[in-house]
């Protein structure tokens, strides 16, 4: 399956706190210093939205956000331009970029305390409803690729991959959990 857009959300630890206002200058530094992959352009502030996108680092091909959606804060990586590769390659590149952003945030000296991210779960969203509608058939088509990738990414632990089928009007979302990841 060729994809055109995906997002990956990596969650903050439940007891982690983050000052969204402090993220804005950090994201501006990422643009200036090219600290994460992508052609980065600007920073948008959506702190006023409850359970919203938080702070977004907007790029031409990719966005990064400290996202508050669903009451579960985390780093949201969104590849928004034609990926033109198969799902496994998109997962490999997407998780690598998202992990780079997470590690960069965790090491940011201006954030006190620095945010701490979980390493045992993620949500993958396939933002291309033409090629990946939010239904059981599409989930079953991609499930094997996602499970195989997750088994490599979270090497040596038990993996579960579940379809978030709550609302078929939304893009296909897949929750990945790694039991015992450290």
Q: H helices of 79-165, where?
A: 87-106, 136-153
The predicted structure's pLDDT at residue 129? 82
Retrieve residue 71's tokens.
């009451």
The predicted structure's pLDDT at residue 77? 98
Contact 28, 2 (CB under 8 A): no
The predicted structure's pLDDT at residue 2? 67
The predicted structure's pLDDT at residue 1? 64
Residue 122's nearest CA partner among 19, 31, 22, 7 is 7
The predicted structure's pLDDT at residue 27? 98
DSSP string, 31-68: HHHT-SSS-EEEEEEETTSTTS-EEEEEESSEEEEEE-
The predicted structure's pLDDT at residue 66? 97
Where the chain has pLDDT below 50, the residues are: none
The predicted structure's pLDDT at residue 84? 66
The predicted structure's pLDDT at residue 82? 65
């Amino acid at each position: 399956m060729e994809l055109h857009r995906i997002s990956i959300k990596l969650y903050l630890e439940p007891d982690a706190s983050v000052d969204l206002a402090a993220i804005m200058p950090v994201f501006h530094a990422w643009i200036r210093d090219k600290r994460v992959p992508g052609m980065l352009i600007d920073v948008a502030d959506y702190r006023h939205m409850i359970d919203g996108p938080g702070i977004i680092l907007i790029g031409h091909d990719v966005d990064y956000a400290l996202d508050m959606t669903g009451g579960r804060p985390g780093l949201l990586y969104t590849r928004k331009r034609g990926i033109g590769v198969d799902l496994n390659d998109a997962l490999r590149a997407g998780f690598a970029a998202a992990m780079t952003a997470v590690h960069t945030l965790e090491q940011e000296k201006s954030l006190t305390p620095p945010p701490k991210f979980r390493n045992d779960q993620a949500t993958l969203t396939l933002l291309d409803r033409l090629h990946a509608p939010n239904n059981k058939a599409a989930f079953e088509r991609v499930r094997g690729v996602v499970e195989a990738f997750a088994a490599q990414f979270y090497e040596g632990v038990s993996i579960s991959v579940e379809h978030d089928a709550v609302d078929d009007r939304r893009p296909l979302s897949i929750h990945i959990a790694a039991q015992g990841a450290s």
